[in-house]
Structure 1
Amino acid sequence: MPLPKTGRILREKLQRGETVFGTFLQHTTTPSIVEFLPENALDFVIVTCEHNALDLAEFLPMRYALAARGIACLARTHSREPDDVSKVCDSFDGVVVPYVEEPDHARRLAAAALFRPLKGAALEQVLRDNQWPSPKTREYIENDRCANTVFIPMIESLRGIENLAAICGIPGVHAIFVGPNDLTTTMGIPNEYDHPDLIAQLQKIIDISNRSHVAAGCWFGKRDQAERTMRQGARFVVYSNDGSLLKDAMENSFGHLRRI
């Protein structure tokens, strides 16, 4: 039995204006853990090797186990190079690209995700003139080869916010995801996630994205911060990560038991 097209399902939810919920997987590579995920908790996960010694290939068993549960598995790239984006999209349901700032760079990243396998002069014709090799090629890429692919640039700098309207206008941008550590660092308020200036910038990001009918959201590890951003209008909700969720659950459970 073929697996559900979980990337396409996630895209459709976003296009309908739904709020979607996910978390980071930074440590979990054993697919049997998926059996213990509660029903209807997650629409997607983002696997990442940013803060560990793993490689994205080690998460591939998780991708297939998650698909069997109808959960999309996106991957955060190591780099901001189009070739890396294409490689990730050939194996996962979609890609999350860090530190996107310039519209032209964003267009090429989106093309690497959503126009593959076009390259070289053929890709340049599509980007410049919307001229495809043939209607069959366009049909194959848009409705077959890349129809299950989700493309999400990360906004992690003030320059990215300045260019956000243009980035949101690029065909194929399915959501905007804010990395708060990098963003607050560039703002001069590193890791001050309750700072009014960050809250104001997040509102600006959400409002600009909404005008282009693009979902936006920010990672947070505290539930009240995630809730606050949802009240601001965030629809792409990324909460905590596998290690922190396990830590919090054990602290709550065993902390309670030890107080009895």
Structure 2
Amino acid sequence: MDAVKIKETLDRGGMVFGCMISAMGTIRFQRALAGSTLDFVIIDCEHGSRDRKEIQELTTMFRAIDIAPLVRVPVPMAHYVAMAKDAGAAGVLVPYCEDLDEIRACVATGKYHPMKGEYLRRAVAEGKFPSPKTKEYLENRNRGSIVIIGIESEPAFKNLDAILDIPLIDAIFIGPNDMTTSLGIPDDWANPKYLDVLKTVIRKSEAKGMPVMIHQSTMESSIRAIELGARFVMHSSDVRLMVAAMQEQFAELRKVAGARAVSARDTAETV
């Protein structure tokens, strides 16, 4: 699914499904992933160590198999949003946002790239462009560009109303690890305090027409997120899905063969 179709699906109240790409670094996965049924992926450049060449190769690969490549940039800086766009990202996930000016700059770059500097500030603050032709050009060039803002801390949550008032944001992201750590309950995803945050963010975001993405890592927590109203569904990661499939299938083989059961361990980091 391309980014335009993703936006159209979400705008009419539908759901889209994808996962985090945290370790994959080669285009040799293209043929296999063509049958994955994913609508989108988030290419992680916040916790993942990727250079611009690798990002471009991955975005090209995913576009070729009709999976929208969104890039999680390292920090909430417009410069990194521009780099992701130049590398072929269909959109960006801007992590750990708290400062309103930083958010405005990232959103503006995501929506009006490659315009920058004073004219970009005027376009966002006053709706003024160098010319009607420039406005039309930038809107056409960025048609379908998706900008997702990360609400991943208690300060961001407390400032949610002001963040949601910023124009042109397409969706809101909640990072469970960062959010629960900030709330003082690290990775306690069933804690009522965390669930209340999810409910509030989903309710307020949806009231503004913004779907919510929550990066949960287990089936139980992802299903709970969907039941709470998350429609931009990001489940698990390439590493976790691979390890889970290995554990499940080899456990079954050991059982059939009468071999000694081996306890599975969760060895994938949660980020």
TM-score between both structures, scaled by the size of structure 2: 0.88
Specify which of 64, 67, 80 is matched with residue 63 of structure 2.
67
Q: Give the root-mean-square deviation of aligned CA atoms.
A: 1.7
1:1-260 pair list within 5 angstroms: 6-37=2-33, 39=35, 41-91=37-87, 92-143=89-140, 145-260=141-256
Percent identical among aligned pairs is 35
User: Could you tell me how far apart the structure 2 residues matched to 1:52 and 1:130 are?
Assistant: 36
SS at 1:152 equivalent: strand
**1:179-215 per-position Cα deviation (integer Å, ceiling 9, x unaligned):** 1111111101111111111011000000010000100
CA contact (8 A) 2:76 2:103 kept: no
- Report which structure shows greater RCO (CA 8 Å, sep ≥6): 1
Structure 1, unmatched stretches of 5+, are none
SS at 2:179 equivalent: helix
Task: Tell me which residue corresponds to 2:263.
Answer: none
User: Per the alignment, do residues 53 and 136 of structure 1 end up closer, same or farther by CA in structure 2, a change over 3 Å counting?
Assistant: closer
Q: 1:38, CA displacement in angstroms?
A: 6.3
Paired letter, 1:257: L
Structure 2, unmatched stretches of 5+, are 257-271
**1:47-82 per-position Cα deviation (integer Å, ceiling 9, x unaligned):** 113334433531322222211221100111112211
Q: Which moved more, 1:149-158 or 1:12-21?
A: 12-21
Q: 1:167, CA displacement in angstroms?
A: 2.1
Aligned residues: 255
CA contact (8 A) 1:29 1:58 kept: yes
CA contact (8 A) 1:103 1:163 kept: no
Q: 1:109, CA displacement in angstroms?
A: 1.0
User: Could you tell me how far apart the structure 2 residues matched to 1:133 and 1:16 are?
Assistant: 33
SS at 2:41 equivalent: strand
User: Could you tell me how far apart the structure 2 residues matched to 1:236 and 1:119 are?
Assistant: 29
User: Could you tell me how far apart the structure 1 residues matched to 2:56 and 2:81 are?
Assistant: 16
User: Could you tell me how far apart the structure 1 residues matched to 2:104 and 2:230 are?
Assistant: 23
